[in-house]
C-alpha cells in the first residue's frame, strides 16, 4: 500500500467513524505492538518499552524496544493483517 493509499484509508476510517485520525493511528500502533508480542513473546516488564512507529513519509512500520529496532523480517504481512482487523473493528 502506498503512503497516499495508507493516508486515504486512515482518513476514510476516521471520517466514517467520526473519530480523529490520530486516534485511529494510535489504535493501530497499539495493535501492532500487541501483534508483535503475540508472535515474539516478551515479559510484561520488557513490553513497557515496546513502541510501534509508522513513517509518514514511507508508510514503513517498525517496532522499537526502547531505541533498538526489533522489527522482525516479514513483519509487514503481520502489520497489514493487523491494520485490516483494527480498521474493521473501529
Prediction pTM value: 0.77
**For residue 82, what is the enclosing H or E element?**
helix 75-89
Helix or strand (DSSP H, E) at 83 = helix 75-89
Which positions ≥6 away from 65 have C-beta within 8 Å?
42, 46, 49, 50
Per-residue confidence in pLDDT tens, the chain, 90 aa:
555 777 887 888 889 989 998 998 898 888 888 888 888 878 777 778 899 998 766 678 899 999 999 998 888 777 777 777 766 776
Burial of 61 (0-12, 13-18, 19+ CB in 10 A): buried
Structural domains of the chain in order of their starting residue, each with its CATH number: 3-89 (3.30.1480.10)
Amino acid at each position: 500500500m502506498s503512503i497516499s493509499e495508507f493516508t486515504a484509508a486512515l482518513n476514510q476510517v476516521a471520517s466514517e467513524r467520526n473519530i480523529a485520525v490520530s486516534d485511529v493511528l494510535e489504535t493501530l500502533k497499539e495493535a501492532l505492538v500487541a501483534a508483535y508480542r503475540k508472535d515474539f513473546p516478551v515479559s510484561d516488564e520488557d513490553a513497557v518499552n515496546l513502541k510501534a512507529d509508522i513513517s509518514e513519509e514511507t508508510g514503513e512500520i517498525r517496532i522499537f524496544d526502547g531505541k533498538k529496532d526489533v522489527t522482525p523480517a516479514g513483519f509487514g504481512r503481520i502489520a497489514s493483517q493487523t491494520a485490516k482487523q483494527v480498521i474493521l473493528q473501529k
